[in-house]
Amino acid sequence: MTTTDNPHLGEVVAPPEIEEETAADQAPLDRDLMALPPDASVNEYITAWFKRVRSGQSGVLPVVGGLIVIIIVFQIERSQFLSALNLVNLLQQSAAFIVLGMAEIFVLLLGEIDLSLGYSGAVGAAVMTILAYPPINLPWEFAILAGLATTATIGFAQGQIISRLRLPPFVVTLAGLLFWEGFLIWVINNQSPSNGGSIRINNTVIYDIVNGNMSVTAGWIVLAVALVLFGVVSVTRDRRRRAGGLVAPPLALTLAKVAFVAVGGIALVAICGINRAVFTGTTVRGIPWVVPIVIAIVVMWTVLLNRTRFGRYIYAIGGNREAARRAGINVHRVRVLAYTLAGLTAAAAIIILDSRTGGANTDTDGGQIVLYGVAAAVIGGTSLLGGRGKMIDALLGGLVIATIYNGMGLLSLSADFQYMITALVLLAAVIVDAVSRRGQSSA
Amino acid sequence: MMADPTDAASETQEGNVSRSALADRETNPGSEARGGTPDSQTLLSLRGISKHFGPVTALDGVDLDVPSGRVTALIGDNGAGKSTLIKVIAGIHEADHGEIFWSGERVQIRTPHEATLLGVATVYQDLALCDNLDIVANMFLGLETISHGMLDETPMELKARETLTSLSVTSVRSIRQPVGSLSGGQRQSVAVARAVMGDAKLVIMDEPTAALGVSQTAMVLDLIQRLAAGGIAVIVISHNLNDVFAVADRVAILHLGRLVSSGPASDYDRQSAVEIMTTGALSGRENGAREAAARA
């Protein structure tokens, strides 16, 4: 090499760049906690997990912890909080928040926001309701599909406007919020002028999405099938990784994870199997249909985000849009598709909401419920800045919001307190997130 | 090294005239009188490259040879045309005039895609990494392996590990950690690994050490030398002459859009390089020659 005979030590014309070693320079030694040798034992995995939690990469832990605290507080205050009736009620209440949170996550991951999802979803749900109502009387499958397609189309159109014209999503979807609110009122009043701004859901299948229950036997069968599938998929994935010479968690850990999920599932089905009829002499038991539906949506969207190119690109664009563009990703297409799927999912959320209340209403507060969707995602741990978040966040965050809502109701606290407490929880979630982030990464 | 003091003196004004003339006779009689095609070790040859942006002349008749297995440092003051030149090579800008030869064959580089197909990989100063994605995802961004419509992580992870190992990037403990948790030097390594993974023959690095501390800089310079040792042609743009002289085999100096000097790195020292960078020429020509003689 030529380095030795170059007399560049003498003259200092361009001063050598003496820079401070930044924190990131020394960081990797103690920071890459996910790094484990291929033959790491269960113990090492658990130690690494604890380290990760301590360093702020805690994932779902703060939400789960917070949820448990809230539940304990409500249970102490009102013993009927953990009754089967109330727990099932809570699940039914949380479903719309959860699904709307998932809708919002598609755009939050891009670092964007969609404020219109509450009302555009309500428009889709209204379309479904009208189609299933006399005189059209469309079968429920087609009515639901039409409703989903309506809001997906709205999302597609708004995504096109945002992406093609390079407009701020906040403003475009704010316009969407106002427009679809007006449209919702117009459609419902136009359809049934005499009904005071609501259209009843008279299709029993649609009504039973939230209000109907699976038989207890069916619940156990579905749970068993789901657990077997989950176990097989988990174990074979690890085995395939190991066969390829890659690091995989030890079998015991994977089985423990499956067992953990199994315990949760069994508890759920068992609780829902208790007769929760309010009137003596009647029987109400079984899991509400909405529960497996919500879980299926979580699983489906999680697979989409984690295991497909589209999902990977959403994260990439949220992380560094310019890098994504230079990597040859069609950023425009991914963004529009994200808005479309957000619309599709929002329609599902409001269909669930309308199914619970029994009809499509002009006074559906789409402006408020969309913020609950955002709050559910953020409380669960999804970042508003993009690139970070999972579908499971909406599940946890939605449960938190519904728990507050439900518990406050049991305590006979009115809307004023519900709003304020929900706001404080949201704030706490953001603070926990920001503080843990500060400790974690300077890069 | 290929250091040859007399060659250096003759190259100061119009790079590689003698060698090019020789190559001209041997391989390509029909080429332009000014440049001619390169010899066989030269991977990339630019002849008379000019680029205008409206009335502004960004590049004016640049001739440059970039050999395989060598580090060529491209230096020059701000606005000298370094960025424009690499953008021409990377296909972001198309040259207005001039010819580009790749392994001795005349080629056109009109788009980044064409550059990639030839084997040109560019690592920009901002690295273009997604901090929230892990190392494997970053290396394969836009090039993911798919099976049955799903991402197939196993081959990607294996290939990523293999590439990082071949670059002797061993300080990274897990290739599944997010890039945001890496140090500056490791991030640079990931960007380079991404660049060379697709069988790159020429790697262009824009200010690879600009944002790095001392130890990280050493790590990246080491990486650059390993790239070259692996037979890849490397072009490094840098403001830091310490780094340039630490790794460069050859130096090319741009001044106001013209390539005013090029040759083996041993023919330059910091003083002469800075003088040429700032003024476009060496005032005391005998000075440089004397130093060259003193070394020889």
In a structure prediction context, what are the per-residue pLDDT tens digits for chain B, which is 296 residues long? 444 444 444 444 443 434 443 333 333 333 333 344 444 478 999 999 999 998 988 999 999 999 999 999 999 888 888 889 999 998 888 899 999 999 989 999 988 888 888 999 888 888 889 999 999 999 999 889 999 989 999 899 999 988 888 887 777 778 888 898 888 888 888 998 888 887 789 999 998 888 788 888 888 898 899 889 988 999 999 888 888 899 999 999 999 989 998 889 888 888 888 888 888 887 755 454 445 544 54
Nearest residue on chain B to A3, alpha-carbon basis: B246
Q: Is residue A347 located within the same domain as residue A384?
A: yes
Determine the Cα–Cα distance for residues A369 and A418; give it in Å rounded to an integer.
Answer: 14
Q: Name every chain A residue with its beta carbon within 8 A of the beta carbon of B247.
A: 1, 3
Is the ipTM higher than 0.85? The answer is no
Answer whether residue A386 is part of any domain.
yes
Determine the Cα–Cα distance for residues B80 and B273; give it in Å rounded to an integer.
Answer: 14
Give me the pLDDT at residue B213, please.
81
Q: Name every chain A residue with its beta carbon within 8 A of the beta carbon of B224.
A: none
Could you give the domains of chain B?
5-119+201-295 (3.40.50.300), 131-200 (no CATH)
Give me the pLDDT at residue B16, please.
40
Q: Tell me the pLDDT tens digit for each residue of A217-247.
A: 999 999 999 999 999 999 998 998 888 888 8
Element containing residue B59 per DSSP (H, E): strand B56-67
Phi then psi dihedrals of residue B62, to 5 deg: -80, 130
Give me the pLDDT at residue B34, please.
36
Residue that wins the pLDDT comparison between A33 and B200: B200
Which residue type occupies B183? S
CATH number at residue A330: 1.10.3470
Q: Name every chain B residue with its beta carbon within 8 A of the beta carbon of A326.
A: 124, 128
Answer whether residue A54 is part of any domain.
no
| List of residues 6+ apart from A384 with CB closer than 8 A | A108, A111, A113, A374, A378
DSSP state of B291: H
Give me the pLDDT at residue A194, please.
78
Answer whether residue A404 is part of any domain.
yes
Residue that wins the pLDDT comparison between A268 and B33: A268
Give me the pLDDT at residue B4, please.
44
Q: Is residue A83 located within the same domain as residue A158?
A: yes
Contact B130 A18 (CB under 8 A): no
Give me the pLDDT at residue A156, please.
98
Using CB atoms within 10 Å of the CB of residue A77, give its burial: 0 to 12 exposed, 13 to 18 middle, 19+ buried: exposed
Which residue type occupies B140? F
Q: Is residue A200 located within the same domain as residue A330?
A: yes
Final residue belonging to a domain, choices A236, A256, A287? A287
The pairing of beta strand A359-361 with beta strand B146-147: unpaired
Is-contact B185 B217, C-beta < 8 A? yes
Give me the pLDDT at residue A36, please.
56
Answer whether residue A174 is part of any domain.
yes
Q: Tell me the pLDDT tens digit for each residue of A366-412.
A: 888 999 999 999 989 898 889 999 999 999 999 999 999 899 889 88
Answer whether residue A33 is part of any domain.
no
Q: Is residue A205 located within the same domain as residue A318?
A: yes
**Would the pLDDT of A201 be above 60?**
yes
Nearest residue on chain A to B131, alpha-carbon basis: A319
Determine the Cα–Cα distance for residues B249 and B20; give it in Å rounded to an integer.
Answer: 19
Q: Name every chain B residue with its beta carbon within 8 A of the beta carbon of A329.
A: 141-142
Q: Is residue A175 located within the same domain as residue A75?
A: yes
Whether the CA torsion A100, A77, A276, A282 is positive or negative: it is: negative
Is-contact A119 A151, C-beta < 8 A? no
| List of residues 6+ apart from A350 with CB closer than 8 A | A96, A100, A118, A121, A122, A124, A125, A151, A364, A366, A369
Count up the domains in chain A and report the number. Answer: 2
Answer whether residue A154 is part of any domain.
yes
Does residue B250 sit in helix, strand or coil? strand
Determine the Cα–Cα distance for residues B116 and B138; give it in Å rounded to an integer.
Answer: 17
Determine the Cα–Cα distance for residues B135 and A361; give it in Å rounded to an integer.
Answer: 49
| List of residues 6+ apart from B214 with CB closer than 8 A | A18, A19, A21
Q: Is residue A185 located within the same domain as residue A229?
A: no
Looking at chain A, how many residues does it have?
A: 443
Give me the pLDDT at residue A38, please.
55
Q: Which domain holds residue A250?
A: 213-287
Contact B149 A315 (CB under 8 A): no
* CB nearest B130 (choices: A31, A244, A324): A324
Q: Is residue A175 located within the same domain as residue A314?
A: yes
Q: Is residue A346 located within the same domain as residue A407?
A: yes
Nearest CA-CA distance, residue B132 and chain A, Å: 6
Answer whether residue A275 is part of any domain.
yes
Nearest residue on chain B to A19, alpha-carbon basis: B213
Which of A30, A239, A317, A320 should one mutate to test binding to chain B, selecting the residue with the greatest count of B CBs within 10 A? Answer: A320
| List of residues 6+ apart from A290 with CB closer than 8 A | A91, A92, A95, A209, A210, A352, A355
Final residue belonging to a domain, choices A272, A287, A302? A287
Q: Name every chain B residue with its beta carbon within 8 A of the beta carbon of A320.
A: 128-131
Q: Is residue A197 located within the same domain as residue A227?
A: no
CA distances from B60 to B37, B57, B87, B93, B251 (A): 19, 7, 15, 14, 18
Q: Is residue A188 located within the same domain as residue A248?
A: no
* CB nearest A319 (choices: B132, B183, B240): B132
Contact B141 A316 (CB under 8 A): yes
Neighbours of B286 (CB within 10 A): 10
Contact B149 A25 (CB under 8 A): no
Answer whether residue A37 is part of any domain.
no
| List of residues 6+ apart from B145 with CB closer than 8 A | B151, B152, B153, B155, B156
Give me the pLDDT at residue A1, please.
39
Determine the Cα–Cα distance for residues A34 and A29; give it in Å rounded to an integer.
Answer: 12
Q: Is residue A347 located within the same domain as residue A410?
A: yes
Q: Name every chain B residue with its beta carbon within 8 A of the beta carbon of A110.
A: none
Contact B130 A323 (CB under 8 A): yes
Q: Is residue A180 located within the same domain as residue A65?
A: yes
Nearest residue on chain B to A439, alpha-carbon basis: B181
| List of residues 6+ apart from A14 with CB closer than 8 A | B239, B240, B241, B270, B274
Contact B130 A5 (CB under 8 A): no
Nearest residue on chain A to B127, alpha-carbon basis: A323
